[in-house]
Structure 1
Amino acid sequence: MKSYKKIAVVLTTLGVIGVSGCKKILDQSPKANVTPDVLASAGGVVGGITGVYSDLRNLWGTEGFLYYTNLGVDETLAGGGASNGGVAFATYKNYTNNVSDVYNALGGVFNIAYQDINTLNGVLQYGVAAFPDAPTRTAYLAQAKFLRALYYFHLVQTFGSVPLHTTFINTATLSDSRAPVADVYNQIIKDLTEASAELQNKPGENGSPFAGHAATKASALYLLSKAYLTRGWSSAAQSGDFQSALTTAQTLISTKATYGVDLYQNYADAYAPANDATNKEDLFAIEHSTDTKYGDFTPGASGGKINGWAYFFRPNYPTVNANYPASGGSGVMTRDIANGRPFFRVRPNYDYVNNVAFADRSNDYRYWNTFQTTWIANTANITTPRGSLTVGTDTAIWMPPYDPGADKRASFKGVIFLPPSVAAATTGANASTNTFFPALKKFDDPNRPSVNDPSSRPVVLFRFSEIYLIAAEAAYKLNDLTTAANMINVLRTRAAYRTTGMPANAVANMQITPAQVTLDFILDERTRELYGESLRWWDLTRTQSLIRRVKLYNAEAAPNIQDFMTLRPIPQTEINLVTQGPPIPQNPGF
């Protein structure tokens, strides 16, 4: 859709990709015009693929991406620190009126996606000549197929019909058209079918040049299964899609040892920073590091190619004062690395999260492994109307998902915030707000150099646990409720586990029967397992549940959402680039 004379790609290294036969990894970061001659060389192929991997940092982990994948759904609401565009995504208010942040976020997706797709097309078209060694050639081209499929799957889920290009463009193009959704899915499935046979089993296995978090066969099988599932729900559905989704998911599950993937016994271990380098539930992730040159790291950055997941979901805890809700008094907490940088961009939707998805917090421990509800005092000489706080001992802020009772509230020395509906029924209780709310803690990064630094943890796109949910959804659509229940129960068995205080009957209480499997149960289970992981908007649009569930659970968005909002608008800047031939049509309603 862009007018390209020559495509420039930044030849930066992720620190995980090298070229076979080279003595050391690329140690420079120039910009280069990518031409067929360049892409027919080993260096051009390496630079092209590495540049695409680096570009993924412009999407996953950034604030604009956060807004359009996590907001305007049932499980989250905009935090008090959200931009105007974030609020527009969250509420659909002024959403169709060219809100700059909305269109900038979506326009960025198009700019990055089509630049990188063109680079990948060039790698696949000319890179065949770059490596005389067949295994090395296959390894590189399989990466390109996977990455191209990832981008097109992202685009078709978000915008519906989009331009489809599979050949390299290095001359100016001023015309374009949107391809049928069926054609886009056919290309995605073709690329992923080939990649799932050609990629490495494990990162860096048998001398593969792709180590770290680069794509593997397990990555491709996951995405292939999800592509079949998503197409099965769509207007381009083919009769065997749900069976193909289930079969592919079950193949990954049954061969998990081959790919070195599995579930941890403890849900919390899947998110532990100590496991980042070799996380067995990580099927595909975007690398980050504190290296300012190769890791795109900028100290104190709040934008750019950052991983902001460690602070986007954090409340503004340093502004809770000792006399709250009265004004005055010192802050009971000081901003620190352990408690994170308080960006408060996204907050939980209490009515859904507490009362529906995580209603069972006794048997299911995922709520407590997902949310931080207590802040231990870190500031000396703080006294509230109920007593003095001892640093490192007393809880300064407590946000329980229930009312602890009048006696506990009266004796608690810190400040308590209750869910709004609970506080409304409890005389004198503080209600959580769009500034003060439980924090999502799964993405915390205690190893950041400074309190205001972005995270250097990998941004995980695909988790092994989700393959069970993909299988369950496909089985549900096939009316195989027994298989669906079995898949879900694997995760629910794990969800009951905790290191101490586990009820004797927790696992038994977590099991469901086939009769309990419904679409809404599957969607609720996805929240319990994958809350906040930049999947929810697609989960709801895929299952044709967005409008219904937003109206049911999200009071802030319900008045404004309309049926056509199951697709995002094509950015007007992209439409304007087509100046010859038929114009690019906008999605209906925008």
Structure 2
Amino acid sequence: MKKYISAILFALVLFSACSDSFLDENPKNFESAEQTYKTTKGFNAALNGLHAYARLEFETWNDNIVAQGACAYEVLQGGLDVCYINNVDGTLQPFQKYTFDATNSYIANRWKWAYGLITNANMMVNYAEKGDVAWIKDTDKTFFQANARFFRAYAYRYLTYLYGDVPWVDKVEDTYRVDFERTPKAQVLAKMIEDLEFAAKYLPENPGDVKDGELTKWVALHMLSEISIFAGDYKKAQTAALEVINSPYFKLMDTRFGKNASQAGDPFADMFLEKNQNRKAGNLESIWVIQAEYNVTGGSTTYNDWTRRAWVPAYYSIPGFMITQEYGGRGLGQIRPINYIFNSYETQDIRNSIYNIRREFIYNDPKNTELFGKKHTITEDNMDRGYMFPTTTKFDYMPENDPTYAGNQKDKIRFRLAETYLLLAEAYLDDNQASKAVDAINKVRERAGATLAKVAEVNMDYLLDERSRELLGEEMRRFTLVRTGKLIERTKKYNSKSASTIKDHHVLWPVPQGVIDANSGLKWENNPGYN
């Protein structure tokens, strides 16, 4: 039933998914929305479905409606100031060379995923308003609407950063429409802020009282801080971030914890070890964690996330190497960090430790007696081919029973407290309160063991460097650069492979051509530069 709702109803509601194959679906058995949204139990089932749909955020090859190819995540990291795109997957090259256009499948599928999530969220909001629901508790209605409104804002987060003006849709339409108007971005952001404020008011407060992955008010407040910055309301952003920071529930992890705590390592590396992401594992820095664990009911599938394949090189393609957990499992090396990031760390910074950045590779195939135990020399050719390059260890993953496994099924930290501090710093910088921004940045640097920043050296570029040191691979870097107005400048400065081709209009993606064509009742002009 949940798959049917996700796959078919948003296709009927919004023109972004108007393929005949979607409209012709005819499952033999399903429970209608009218039947599901009658009781608290039904709403719980639908909420589980909403979480499941949200987990398709970076869905790769699969047979569902939002399969996005092999590199759904990489297009938000590569071709910018943090990552080159390697010569591994040709579908990614347009995002390094900036030759993508309105027919690009990744651009179309990101739109499709977002409006699918919006439609599922709208169903929950709309049906909760009906007067014939048998609620168990008086608070059930606002609880389910708070969850749905968070996910609606989360989907619009993608749409506003990537496409600018997009239709604001907050109800399930009774008839198929082809006359949607693009809502100005400022108005969409204002609606998102309303959704996040509602979510923060009615979601649970104590993260210890909810299951791993479930939303709390702090998840909503963290995102409220970010979106308020994007909307230019820096005071609101500061207030929201400070509520999270001053709450009694979170702390920057500065002591060892969880899996492998008794082994060599450091607190920063501990956060990204498999089974260490969640609060119940002792990670008090995580605010929201996507549940994607391997071989667990309610977790993800092989195809939900191939992030490991992006960051871990295909080192095993070089004679003398074999796949091993020590080197991150089976990666493909589709993107690689630009050296300036790793060169910007101080020696004593724990984020620069061997547990967090892998710079050396030792030949490990005992069958190759000539090379075994020797250090490999990394070449530019092997970096371009994705075979070998220095990289973060955050996305290492390898099931013990299947070293060639393609997926990346460990839980994923989406929001954590270190980023809340950096959002607070950004809001202060935008509000001309540099000394307060420095104080917020230094909370993060102090945990890392780095030299504390001084007011005279801190500006938006310093903050963006600090975000890359702290959040490499976790943040959607394209979003950060769009929000700060630095995408073109920093890509040209740091990414030699994209500097000559990126143009001012590439700050936004084009609206998918299929969307424009399907909205036949109201002609749209595409974003500037893509007509």
Q: Where on the TM-score scale, by shorter chain, does this alignment land: which range?
A: 0.7 to 0.9
Task: Check if 1:484 corresponds to 2:484.
Answer: no
Give me the whole-angstrom Cα distance separating, in 1, the residues matched to 2:398 and 2:440: 33
CA RMSD of aligned residues (A): 2.6
AA partner of residue 48 (structure 2): T
Matches for 1:304-453 after TM superposition, within 5 Å: 304=303, 306-320=304-318, 331-339=319-327, 340-350=329-339, 352-355=340-343, 357-358=344-345, 360=346, 362-368=347-353, 369-384=355-370, 389=372, 394=373, 413-417=374-378, 432-435=383-386, 436-447=388-399, 449-453=401-405
Conserved? CA contact 1:448–1:455, under 8 Å: no
Q: 1:202 to 1:213 in 2, by over 3 A?
A: farther
Contact persistence 2:428–2:436 (CA under 8 A)? yes
**What is the match of residue 123 of structure 1?**
124
Question: What aligned pairs does 1:28-427 form with structure 2 within 5 A after superposition?
Answer: 32=30, 34-60=32-58, 62=60, 63-81=70-88, 83-92=89-98, 94-96=99-101, 98=103, 103-128=104-129, 129-203=133-207, 205=209, 210-232=210-232, 241-255=233-247, 257=248, 259-265=249-255, 266-278=267-279, 279-291=283-295, 294-298=298-302, 304=303, 306-320=304-318, 331-339=319-327, 340-350=329-339, 352-355=340-343, 357-358=344-345, 360=346, 362-368=347-353, 369-384=355-370, 389=372, 394=373, 413-417=374-378
TM-score (norm 2): 0.84
1:204 to partner: Cα distance: 6.1
Q: What amino acid is the match of 1:217?
A: K
One-letter identity of the residue aligned with 2:72: F
Partners of 2:431 and 2:50 lie apart in 1 by: 37
* 65-74 or 29-38, which deviates more: 29-38
The alpha carbon displacement at 1:136 in A equals: 2.9
- The structure-2 alpha-carbon separation of the partners of 1:467 and 1:431, relative to structure 1 and needing over 3 Å to count, comes to same
Aligned residue among 446, 449, 455 for 1:493: 446
Aligned partners of 1:570 and 1:587 also within 8 Å: yes
Task: State how far apart, in whole Å, the 1-side matches of 2:317 and 2:299 are.
Answer: 32
Secondary structure in 2 matching 1:285: strand
8 A Cα contact 2:361 2:375, kept in partner? no
Look up the SS of the partner of 2:470 in the other structure: helix
* Deviating more after overlay: 529-538 vs 155-164: 529-538
For the 8 Å contact 2:508–2:527, the answer to whether it is kept is: yes
Q: CA deviation at 1:483?
A: 0.7
1:381–1:366 CA distance, 2 compared to 1 (3 A) = same
Unmatched 5+ residue regions in structure 2? 9-26, 61-69, 256-266
SS at match of 2:159: helix
Change (3 A) 1:527 1:169: same
Greater CA drift, 144-153 or 443-452 = 443-452
Cα offset, 1:203, TM superposition: 4.1
Using the size of structure 1 for normalisation, the TM-score is: 0.76
Displacement after TM superposition at 1:467 (Å) = 0.6
1:475 match:
428
1:546 maps to 2:507: no
What is the CA-CA distance between 1:57 and the residue it aligns to? Answer: 2.3
Counterpart Cα distance in 1 of 2:461 and 2:146: 36
- Shift in alpha-carbon separation, 1:97–1:260, aligned structure 2, 3 A: closer
Question: What amino acid sits opposite 2:253 in the alignment?
Answer: L
* Distance change >3 Å, CA 37–CA 61, structure 1 → 2: closer
Residues 570 and 130 (structure 1 numbering): CA distance in 2 closer, same or farther, change over 3 Å? farther
Is the CA contact (8 Å cut-off) linking 2:102 and 2:513 kept in structure 1?
no
Identity, % of aligned positions: 26
Q: How far off is 1:36 after superposition?
A: 4.2
Of residues 521-530 and 372-381 in structure 1, the stretch that sits farther from structure 2 once superposed is 372-381
1:9 maps to 6
SS in 2 for 1:374: coil
- 1:579: how far off? 2.0
Q: In the TM superposition, what is the alpha-carbon distance from 1:31 to its structure 2 partner? A: 7.2
Structure 1, unaligned stretches of length 5 or more?
A: 1-5, 12-28, 233-240, 299-303, 321-330, 395-412, 421-429, 497-506
Q: Alpha-carbon deviation of 1:376?
A: 4.3
**Is the CA contact (8 Å cut-off) linking 1:337 and 1:450 kept in structure 2?**
no
Change (3 A) 1:131 1:30: farther
1:560-584 deviations in whole A, cap 9, x for unaligned?
111011111111122222122x223
Q: Which amino acid counterpart does residue 472 of structure 2 have in structure 1?
A: Y
Aligned: 1:565 with 2:506 = yes
